[in-house]
Chain A
Amino acid sequence: MSAYDLPSKSGHFGPYGGIFVAETLISALDDLRKQYEFYRDDPDFQAEFAYELKHYVGRPSPIYHAKRWSEHLGGAQILLKREDLNHTGAHKINNTIGQALLAQRMGKKRVIAETGAGQHGVASATVAARYGMECVVYMGSEDVKRQATNVYRMKLLGATVVPVESGSRTLKDALNEAMRDWVTHVENTFYIIGTVAGPHPYPMMVRDFQAIIGKESKVQMQEDFNRQPDALIACVGGGSNAIGLFYPYIDDVNVRLIGVEAAGKGIDTNQHAATLSTGKPGVLHGNRTYLIQDENGQIIETHSISAGLDYPGVGPEHAWLKDCGRAEYVAITDDEALEAFHTLCRYEGIMPALESSHALAYAAKYTPTLSKDKLLLVNLSGRGDKDMATVAQMSGLTL
């Protein structure tokens, strides 16, 4: 088997990915691709990126052996890649730093971003403050209501938060609105997409910036455990934390790659966000990928307890990894994720993000089927402080 080298020059992962945008955005994307391909191989750029990740983000993030929880579950050992310990509390910052450094080199003084739960918005507002750029964040008005703390956090960091009133008023509509802003202000504006979706080169570029997660893991596993894990487990909304962990392992075929989607109230209900498990291929937000859609090709509103997974599409590389069988995708319900959230708090003193709780919940299901010498590496992609209000509400409390 030859080494994995996707996407193709045209930005395709098999039949997925590509550049499905209006003519008005083509030259901006072309420019971005050329600049990115240049700086990707530029030692100065890479050195500055590495410096920022170390001194500003606090990398490398450790791998932590959740011994007490593993023992409680009675199967394989669960290891946690601690992206929750990054500055701003999630993996999102790895990518926003990379894109902000690129924006700087391209002479763009204004950055825009879309956000669902607010994590990517916060990470974008953070780097905009760090590098002295104007920042506008688009957020569905429903999400603005649900995530008031993060909205305030972005404002404290100097960003303008624009509530989006169109469509279902959630993440997908925020993405539409950010695209509209970009097309209108393309000369001075850099669009920081938060996940491995969107038109080429975004899925590739965001993956490359997030791949630090998997690269570090490979080194740390060798150092601490003298071998690589038997499986990697990560939650998948758009899929950036998962691809960041998976990508450096794609050619290591003995390592299973397991993506965990949000089954919401159940994948047999119409309230979930399990795109790969239930969707059909189509075109949205600039790429061809699996989508949750009706029989007429209209995009359907999704549901998940975790706003970060509440998205009707998925990164095109995941679509390809599913089709070619290299990665497996499973789904975890709101209730299962919530249970994992509480369990990790109680057994390990770690409060995970509700997004990451989906990966944890699958690990908890899977572990007991394996022997104790097996190692599962779970991406703990973010911390759960932002979710306390949601969790309290689910338990019938108000804070």
Chain B
Amino acid sequence: MQINLDSIKNLINFFSGQNDTKKMNRISGTFSTLKTKNRKALIPFIAAGDPNPAITVQLMHQLVQSGADIIELGIPFSDPMADGPTIQRSSERALKQHVSLNSVLDMVAEFRKTNTTTPVVLMGYANPIEAMGYELFAAKAKDCGVDGVLIVDYPPEESGEWVQCLDQHGIDAIFLLSPTTPQERIQQVAKMAKGYIYYVSLKGVTGASHLDLQNVSLVLKRLRQYISLPIGVGFGIRDGETARAVADLADAVVVGSRIIEEIEKSSGAELLNNVGDLLSTLRRAIDEN
């Protein structure tokens, strides 16, 4: 089964002309393609299993159709310390339906059956990974088609073994940088990080509302002195206008809480359309010249 899947992937890569970028994984491939087109990446976040496990894969496909370049898929956790109320609720809804790390991986595998190009980055907290074990997780994640992992409470100083394990399986370890990260640390993170850097544009938790663009601009200039990876900016992006403004400064725009709010507002039948419309709006705003 696994051999079949891999050989199919290789065939697809061959025919879609990606053979020469064989060494490049899906994340770096996506960013380099975007660069040649002079476009910025749009990265939506949804929690796996929210509002129900059955719709997640459809929702992922919808996000791609509506302009997502990379998908961040949240692993639900009982104690999401760094998240505001909106993402906490999405985690709670998924957990009520018994969504586990294993089921999140299954969802990615399901998504990969019909999409072999859009990178998927898992995002979550340490303990579900601790419970599964680094090695087992990394091997499974690779098999299922996961491209990168961002674990909020694995900062670089606790990540030696973790990053090594992901490296061995060819999965990117994505790291956060914040407005309070000092210079030496930026350099340390730059050494460990792969894929892209996620710059958290606000002090506080996810879902906060005001974004100081001038400050973001200053910080990004500073970060770029040390970091060659693409930089995504998240926290506080709520509409086309802020998405556009961030796209002018960063390589990628990450949107989370706003999408979860849309999921909360929408009833079953209209959910895919509403989330799709929201994402298309953001896409258009980002691509405007």
A residues touching B (Cβ–Cβ < 8 Å)? Answer: 10, 18-24, 26-28, 166-167, 172-173, 176, 179-180, 183-184, 186, 280-286, 288, 291, 293, 295-299
Do A183 and B203 have beta carbons less than 8 Å apart?
yes
Are B127 and A283 in touch, CB under 8 angstroms? yes
Interface of A is mostly: mixed
Structural contact, B79 and A167, CB atoms closer than 8 A: yes
Q: Which of B40-48, B95-103, B245-253 contacts A (4 or more CB under 8 A)?
A: B95-103
Q: Is the CB of A296 within 8 A of B185?
A: no
Q: Which residues of B contact A286 (CB under 8 A)?
A: 153
Inside 8 A of B158's CB, which chain A residues have their CB?
18-20
Residues 202-221 of B contacting A (Cβ, < 8 Å): 203-205, 208
Q: How far is the CB of B222 from chain A (nearest CB, A)?
A: 15
The 5 closest A-B pairs by CB, nearest first: A297-B131, A297-B128, A283-B126, A184-B204, A296-B100
Partner of B200, one of A23, A184, A282: A23
Q: Is the CB of B205 within 8 A of A293?
A: no
Which residues of B lie under 8 Å from residue A26 when comparing CB positions? Answer: 155, 178, 180-181, 185
Which residues of chain B have C-beta atoms less than 8 A from A24's C-beta?
Answer: 82, 176, 178, 180, 200, 203-204
Nearest CB in chain A to that of B182: its residue: A27
130-177 of chain B: CB within 8 A of chain A: 130-132, 152-155, 157-158, 175-177
**With A21-B155, A23-B175, A186-B203 known to touch, is A176 a contact of B81 (CB < 8 Å)?**
yes
Interface-forming stretch among B84-92, B223-231, B254-262? B84-92
Chain B residues with a Cβ under 8 A of chain A: 77-82, 84-85, 88, 92, 95, 100-102, 125-132, 152-155, 157-158, 175-178, 180-182, 185, 200, 203-205, 208
Q: When the two chains form the complex, which single residue of B79, B84, B132, B155 contacts A23, counting CB atoms closer than 8 Å? A: B155
Residue in chain B with minimal CB distance to A11: B157
- CB pair B180–A295 under 8 Å, yes or no, is no
Nearest Cβ in chain B — how far from A185, in angstroms? Answer: 8
Closest chain-B Cβ to A73's Cβ sits at a distance in Å of 41
Contacts of B100 in A (CB 8 A): 296, 298
A167 / chain B contacts, CB cutoff of 8 Å = 78-79, 88, 92
Per the bound structure, the CA–CA distance linking A156 and B100 in Å amounts to 44
Instruction: Given the known inter-chain contacts A23-B175, A183-B82, A285-B79, please indicate yes or no for A298 contacting B95, CB distance below 8 A.
Output: yes
**B95, A20: Cβ atoms closer than 8 Å:** no
> How many Å lie between the Cα of A245 and that of B129 in the bound state?
34
Within the complex, the shortest CB–CB distance from A393 to chain B, in Å, comes to 28
Q: Quick one: closest A residue to B200, CB to CB?
A: A24
User: When chains A and B are docked, how far (Å) is the Cα of A22 from the Cα of B128?
Assistant: 16
Q: A19-B158, A24-B200, A26-B155 are in contact. Are A184 and B205 (CB under 8 A)?
A: yes
B102 engages A23 (CB within 8 Å):
no
Given the complex, which residues of B lie within 8 Å of A173, measured CB to CB?
79
CB distance from B118 to the nearest CB of A (A): 26
A166 and B93 CA atoms in complex are apart in Å by 12
| A366: min CB distance to chain B, Å | 34
How many Cβ-Cβ contacts under 8 Å join chain A to chain B?
Answer: 118
Which residue on chain A has the smallest CB distance to residue B130? A282
* A22 lies within 8 A of B81 (CB): yes
CB distance from A54 to the nearest CB of B (A): 37
25 interchain pairs, CB-CB under 8 A: A22-B153, A22-B155, A22-B178, A22-B200, A23-B176, A24-B200, A26-B178, A26-B181, A28-B180, A166-B88, A167-B78, A180-B84, A184-B204, A186-B203, A282-B127, A282-B131, A283-B130, A284-B79, A284-B127, A285-B79, A295-B131, A296-B128, A297-B130, A298-B77, A298-B78
Contact partner of A184 (CB less than 8 A), chosen from B95, B177, B203, is B203
Taken together as a complex, chains A and B put the C-alpha atoms of A285 and B177 apart, in Å, by: 20
A183 to B84, CA, bound (A): 11
Chain B residues in 8 Å Cβ range of A283: 125-127, 130, 153
Q: Give chain A nearest CB distance to B6 CB in angstroms.
A: 28
B195 to chain A, nearest CB (A): 16
A22:B180 contact, CB within 8 angstroms? no
CB distance from A182 to the nearest CB of B (A): 10
| Cα-based distance from A180 to B82 in the complex (angstroms) | 6
What is the minimal beta-carbon distance from B235 to any residue of chain A, in angstroms? 9
A184 touches B78 (CB 8 A): no
A288: which B residues are within 8 A, CB to CB? 130
Q: Contacts of A186 on B, CB cut-off 8 Å?
A: 180, 203
Contacts of A280 in B (CB 8 A): 131
Which of B127, B152, B155 has the most chain A CB atoms closer than 10 A to its own CB?
B127
A27: contacting residue among B152, B154, B181, CB under 8 A = B181
Report B-chain residues with C-beta under 8 Å of the C-beta of A291: 127
Whole-angstrom CA separation of A299 from B127 in the bound complex: 9
Cβ of B224 to closest chain A Cβ, rounded Å: 18
In the bound complex, how far is the Cα of B126 from the Cα of A10, in angstroms?
Answer: 18
What residues on A are CB-neighbors of B204 within 8 Å? 24, 180, 183-184
| Known A166-B85, A285-B79, A293-B127: A21·B153 in contact at CB below 8 Å | yes
Closest to B88 in A: A166
List chain A residues, Cβ under 8 A from B128.
296-298
Which residues of chain A come closer than 8 Å to B153, judged between CB atoms? 20-22, 283, 286
Instruction: Identify which of B128, B157, B178, B180 gathers the most chain A CB atoms within 10 Å of its CB.
Output: B180
Inter-chain CA distance A172–B80, complex, in Å, is 11
Q: How far is the CA of A153 from the CA of B129 in the complex (A)?
A: 41
Chain B nearest Cβ from A50, distance in angstroms:
34
Known: A180-B84, A296-B131, A299-B79. A20 touches B203 (CB 8 A): no
Chain B contacts for A293, CB-based, 8 A: 127, 131
A220 to chain B, nearest CB (A): 40
Given the interface pairs A176-B79, A298-B78, the reply to whether A20 lies near B178 with Cβ below 8 Å is no
**Which A residues lie within 8 Å of B200 (CB)?**
22-24
> A184-B208, A280-B131, A297-B127 are known contacts. Are A285 and B157 too (CB-CB below 8 A)?
no
CA distance A37 to B132 in the complex (A): 36
Besides A183-B204, A296-B101, 20 new A-B residue pairs in contact (Cβ under 8 A), listed by A number: A19-B157, A22-B152, A22-B153, A23-B178, A26-B180, A27-B180, A166-B88, A183-B82, A183-B203, A183-B205, A281-B130, A282-B127, A283-B126, A283-B130, A288-B130, A293-B131, A296-B102, A297-B101, A299-B78, A299-B79
